[in-house]
Amino acid sequence: MAADMTPLRLLALDGDGIGPEIMAATLAVLDALRPALGREITVDHATIGFEALKASGSTIPDAVVDAALAADGVLLGPVSHNAYPPRDEGGLNPSGVLRRALDLYANIRPARTWPGTKAPARGPVDLVVVRENLEGFYADRNLHLGPGEFMPVPGVALAVRRITEEASRRIAEAAFTLAETRPARRVTAVHKANVMRVSDGLFLDTVRDVAAQHPNVTYDEMLVDAAAAHLVRDAGRFDIIATTNMFGDILSDLASELAGGLGLAGSLNHGPRHAAAQAQHGSAPDIAGQDRANPVSLILSLGMLLRHLGEAHAADHLTTSLATCLARPQTRTRDLGGQLGTRAFTDTLVQTLAETGP
């Protein structure tokens, strides 16, 4: 049968803060990658965040969710969610809304050191946090109706943490399937089952069950507090970390910072039908509009999305050119000890992609 040559349709959502700057960089890189693609890619644009709130009263209008559902993949910029007004005034968290609407249950967050760059980690790092993305403590997405936190009487706030066997099994399967593609073939389940005996107990029992079906993958377990210490002490011992939503959120920022910084932290949200490339970091309002943001996290996320959509050749080409740029201080952004602004770095990467050919 002939390969499917229908164009892939991406939806780009800039977001807030540094979002428009790093999205422009990422789309320039996508353009430079076109000769390496097997299929044509078209990009539609829609508005989320403060701009959408001003224009239509919601930080993520329903029409944007529909457009995301119709796309083959989403490029999602960071949002200033913490600064949004309450939900009933239109301040929805676009990350939570999209993850839920598109059933993006897996958040894949690699942290690796790049040769030539300085990193706080004590040795080379090459790990992936596989984070459950739809339940846990995340009050905006963990219940069918209503928020997962409430205040029964003044001065008392309660938050519901949802853990299900189904979600634990899906994320464990994603972790073991990914481990099978990697040289170290190791999964560490990170949990707090010594205290959360029922909820993390269910998570752990489910991961163990999945582990038993993957005898070719080495499996171990670690309490989350110790995992934070072990990451700082010897991040090189980890390959895949499989964990629940909030632990994965926190540990992935820690691991990425240890491996060189949040500016190098790509991530992919995926489910059975949809996928969204999204940097691990936030909208960095402290450096927004100053041409200082490192666009590499979103660019790496684009690479992950392309690989997920079957464009491994383009993704490999991107990784090779990024490694070339990151290896030398004169072709890096300031957060990595270089001098380049967002735009100059992007121009350099685009040139490197063109020079090294598809």
Residue 338 binds which of ligand IPM, Mn ion, ligand NAD, none (CB < 5-8 A, kind-dependent): none
Q: What is the dihedral of CA 326, 319, 15, 12, to 10 degrees?
A: 150
Q: Minimal distance in Å, beta carbon 111 to ligand IPM?
A: 13
For ligand NAD, the nearest residue by Cβ is 282
Q: What are the φ and ψ backbone dihedral angles of 21, each rounded to 5 degrees?
A: -65, -45
Question: Considering the rule CB under 6 A, would residue 287 count as an interface residue with ligand NAD?
Answer: yes
Question: Considering the rule CB under 6 A, would residue 99 count as an interface residue with ligand NAD?
Answer: no
CB 311 within 8 A of CB 38: yes
Question: Considering the rule CB under 6 A, would residue 21 count as an interface residue with ligand IPM?
Answer: no
Quick one: tokens of 151? Answer: 């205040």
Q: Give the residue with the Cβ less far from Mn ion, 61 or 110.
A: 110
Interface positions, 183-222, toward ligand NAD (CB under 6 A): none
Q: Minimal distance in Å, beta carbon 256 to ligand NAD?
A: 10
| Cβ neighbours for 286, distance < 8 A, ≥ 6 positions apart | none
Q: Give the residue with the Cβ less far from ligand NAD, 32 or 293.
A: 293
Q: Give the residue with the Cβ less far from ligand IPM, 188 or 280.
A: 280
CB 277 within 8 A of CB 300: no
Q: Give the residue with the Cβ less far from ligand IPM, 132 or 249.
A: 249
CB 81 within 8 A of CB 95: yes
In terms of DSSP H, where are the helices of 1-147? Answer: 19-32, 50-56, 62-70, 94-101
Question: Considering the rule CB under 6 A, would residue 214 count as an interface residue with ligand IPM?
Answer: no
Residue carrying the six token digits 């063109």: 354
Selected binder of ligand IPM within 26, 58, 95, 113 (CB under 6 A): 95
Radius of gyration of the chain (CA): 20
Question: Considering the rule CB under 6 A, would residue 93 count as an interface residue with ligand IPM?
Answer: yes
Residue carrying the six token digits 């300085």: 118
Residue carrying the six token digits 């190791």: 186
Question: Considering the rule CB under 6 A, would residue 244 count as an interface residue with ligand IPM?
Answer: no
CB 336 within 8 A of CB 260: yes
Q: Minimal distance in Å, beta carbon 326 to ligand IPM?
A: 23
Q: Give the residue with the Cβ less far from ligand NAD, 168 or 280.
A: 280
Instruction: State whether residue 97 is helix, strand or coil.
Output: helix
d(CA 181, CA 111): 16
Catalytic residues: 138, 192, 225, 249, 253
Question: Considering the rule CB under 6 A, would residue 294 count as an interface residue with ligand NAD?
Answer: yes
Binding residues for Mn ion (CB under 5 A): 249
Question: Considering the rule CB under 6 A, would residue 297 count as an interface residue with ligand IPM?
Answer: no
Residue 93 binds which of ligand NAD, ligand IPM, Mn ion, none (CB < 5-8 A, kind-dependent): ligand IPM
Quick one: tokens of 310? Answer: 């079957």
Q: Give the residue with the Cβ less far from ligand NAD, 93 or 206.
A: 93
- Kindly state the number of chain residues that form the binding site for ligand IPM, as judged by CB under 6 A: 6
- Kindly state the number of chain residues that form the binding site for ligand NAD, as judged by CB under 6 A: 22
CB 267 within 8 A of CB 280: yes
Q: Give the residue with the Cβ less far from ligand IPM, 297 or 346.
A: 297
Amino acid making up residue 200: D
Instruction: State whether residue 207 is helix, strand or coil.
Output: helix
Quick one: tokens of 55? Answer: 């224009």
Maximum distance among all Cα pairs of the chain, rounded to whole angstroms: 65
Question: Considering the rule CB under 6 A, would residue 293 count as an interface residue with ligand NAD?
Answer: yes
Quick one: tokens of 145? Answer: 């109706």
Residue 283 binds which of Mn ion, ligand IPM, ligand NAD, none (CB < 5-8 A, kind-dependent): ligand NAD
Q: Minimal distance in Å, beta carbon 202 to Mn ion?
A: 24
Residues found near ligand IPM in the complex (CB under 6 A): 81, 93, 95-96, 249, 280
